[in-house]
């Protein structure tokens, strides 16, 4: 056998025989293919339904770019805030009768500069507005003390501080000033009005000082004259208990002669 015959015989033995080869089809056929198409169609339908539901919810709840967010309920709307442990730290409830907020501190800020207009916590309530206006017919009712640097009535309106069943006390370490620039100042009480100065004096500065409804005493002059029947000048006297009374003026003091008024008080 020559070299060429040996090489040819060896190549023929290495070639695969076509009649013994088995062909395998590539791809998905039969019921598997039908199931795959069914799942793809089901996924497509689910996506379309989800998209339609999302658009419907946005339409019903008025979720738009330019319109505000509106939350509506037949009873109330409650918004809760919780910490990382799930504990309730704040709650806002909007109901038909009231709006309730439960939190450690409640603040209302201005939209322009962000300053606090109103804040409330367990210790104090702060109102930061330039003007506090109370429009109720009964005014403002305070159960305890009130601290303020300025109280002023509206223009052409009267300012009235009243305590119907208890006393009204105004205190300041450097004095309390009550001023009526264009009108009268009137202090009225049911029982007694006390003006007391512990270290200074009570100074009354006016063109005329009138004390009305003071009792008037009488005395008998040693030399009666026709002018005694038309007494126009009186002397202001004071009793040991502080009561004031008038006594007809004479050449000297007549308070001792009319001191019987002090016995009636």
pLDDT confidence band for 47 (50 / 70 / 90): very high
Q: Taking the CA atoms of 258, 262, 264 and 265 in sequence, report the sign of the dihedral they define.
A: positive
Over the stretch 132-148, which tens digit does the pLDDT of each residue have? 888 887 777 777 777 77
**In the predicted structure, residue 13 carries a pLDDT above the cut 70:** no
Per the document, the length of the chain is 265
The mean of the pLDDT values for the chain is 80
User: Which whole-number Å values give the CA distances from 261 to 93, 193, 216, 244, 256, in the listed order?
Assistant: 69, 21, 8, 9, 10
pLDDT confidence band for 78 (50 / 70 / 90): very high
**What pLDDT was estimated at residue 20?**
53
Q: Answer yes or no: are the C-beta atoms of 10 and 2 closer than 8 Å.
A: no
The model's pTM? 0.39
Among candidate residues 101, 135, 134, the one with its CA nearest the CA of residue 120? 101
Termini Cα distance of the chain: 167
Q: Answer yes or no: are the C-beta atoms of 238 and 244 closer than 8 Å.
A: yes
Range ranked top by mean pLDDT from 40-44, 66-70, 133-137, 157-161:
40-44
- In angstroms, the CA 190 to CA 184 distance is 20
Averaged pLDDT, 82-101: 91
Between strands 116-120 and 125-127, the pairing is antiparallel
**What pLDDT was estimated at residue 208?**
83
Averaged pLDDT, 175-184: 78
pLDDT confidence band for 248 (50 / 70 / 90): confident
pLDDT confidence band for 176 (50 / 70 / 90): confident
**In the predicted structure, residue 250 carries a pLDDT above the cut 90:** no
- Strands, E assignment, 115-176: 116-120, 125-127
pLDDT confidence band for 26 (50 / 70 / 90): low
Over the stretch 105-124, which tens digit does the pLDDT of each residue have? 999 998 888 889 999 998 88
**What pLDDT was estimated at residue 12?**
55
């Amino acid at each position: 056998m020559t070299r060429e015959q040996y090489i040819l015989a060896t190549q023929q033995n290495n070639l695969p025989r076509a009649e013994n080869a088995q062909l395998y089809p590539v791809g998905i056929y039969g019921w598997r293919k039908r199931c795959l198409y069914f799942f793809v169609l089901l996924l497509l339908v689910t996506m379309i339904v989800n998209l339609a539901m999302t658009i419907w919810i946005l339409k019903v709840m008025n979720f738009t770019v330019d319109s505000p967010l509106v939350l509506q309920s037949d009873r109330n709307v409650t918004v809760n805030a919780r910490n990382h442990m799930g504990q309730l730290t704040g709650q806002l409830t909007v109901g038909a009768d009231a709006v309730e907020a439960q939190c450690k501190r409640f603040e209302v800020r201005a939209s322009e500069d962000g300053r606090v207009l109103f804040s409330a916590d367990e210790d104090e309530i702060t109102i930061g507005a330039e003007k506090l206006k109370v429009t109720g017919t009964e005014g403002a009712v305070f159960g305890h003390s009130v601290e303020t640097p300025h109280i002023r009535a509206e223009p052409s309106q009267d300012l009235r501080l009243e305590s119907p069943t208890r006393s009204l006390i105004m205190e300041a370490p450097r004095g309390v000033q009550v001023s009526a620039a264009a009108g009268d100042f009137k202090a009225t009480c049911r029982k007694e009005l006390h003006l007391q100065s512990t270290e200074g004096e009570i100074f009354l500065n006016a063109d005329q000082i009138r004390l009305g409804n003071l009792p008037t005493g009488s005395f008998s002059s040693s030399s009666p004259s026709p002018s005694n029947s038309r007494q126009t000048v009186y002397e202001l006297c004071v009793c040991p208990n502080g009561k004031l009374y008038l006594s007809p003026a004479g050449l000297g003091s007549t308070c001792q002669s009319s001191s019987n008024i002090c016995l009636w008080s």
